[in-house]
Structure 1
Amino acid sequence: MSEKRKRAPSRHQRNALAPSLLAAAMLFLAPVLLDGDWSLAVLFVTAILAVIVGWFAIQARQWWWAPVFAAIAVLWNPVFPFPFTGPIWIAAQPGAAIAFLVAGALIRIERT
């Protein structure tokens, strides 16, 4: 009989990973969705998840992510949306998605 090794629990947790993955999925689909009735949903989801990921960054004491996600929350805000169109705005969607993915992978906090 073989003995099963117990895996040591991780010392860190990545709270920002799940919201980052959701936001990245929405932003990678955004160029298709912005032409239809889904443009308001893209703005809401992106702005809300940017605030959540920014808050997790502040909790993890990784302050340098706060301005990035504050800018994303402002640019994608659904209350007073900016009338952005064209190739720059279309290119900004995957750019923000990559920022979400990198932050989701790097923001971590030590478990107590």
Structure 2
Amino acid sequence: MGAPQTPKAAAEYQRNALAPGILAAIVLVAGIALVGQEYYLAVRFVVAILAVIIGWFAIQAGQWWWAPVMLAIALIWNPVYPINITGEWLVGAHIVGAAVCLVAGALIRFRRTPAA
């Protein structure tokens, strides 16, 4: 028999932008293979939507400085008025965008409110 376990205290912070940040990074890295293909439009939609979600979580968390960064990502990958970036610049933009989404997802955090 082991020592009695004490209940763990709930985390003081929660990272709501982490899952969308990881998903956006996965889509951006996988999207490199789809550049120029028919399915690249889906990459644009997913990245733009996830960037807006991450930006909204940043505003809710009071970390407004992430909002313009996520707005830039949403504008670069927007499917309605696509920005024509090609070649190595587009691959670099995918890699930088993936890194930014991961960092934003890890750093945007909310103070957890106690349950009533």
With normalisation by structure 1, the TM-score equals 0.96
What's the secondary structure of 2:62's corresponding residue? coil
With normalisation by structure 2, the TM-score equals 0.93
User: Which position in structure 1 is the counterpart of 2:55?
Assistant: 54
Whether the 8 Å contact between 1:34 and 1:42 is mirrored in structure 2 is no
Gap regions ≥5 residues in structure 2: none
Whether the 8 Å contact between 1:24 and 1:98 is mirrored in structure 2 is yes
User: Which position in structure 2 is the counterpart of 1:78?
Assistant: 79
- Displacement, 1:5? 2.3
Note the aligned Cα RMSD (angstroms).
0.9
Q: Which amino acid aligns with 1:65?
A: W
Moved over 3 A (4+): none
User: Which position in structure 1 is the counterpart of 2:94?
Assistant: 93
What's the secondary structure of 1:63's corresponding residue? coil
Bigger shift: 80-89 or 18-27? 80-89
1:1-112 equivalent positions in 2, closer than 5 A:
1=1, 2-112=3-113
Gap regions ≥5 residues in structure 1: none
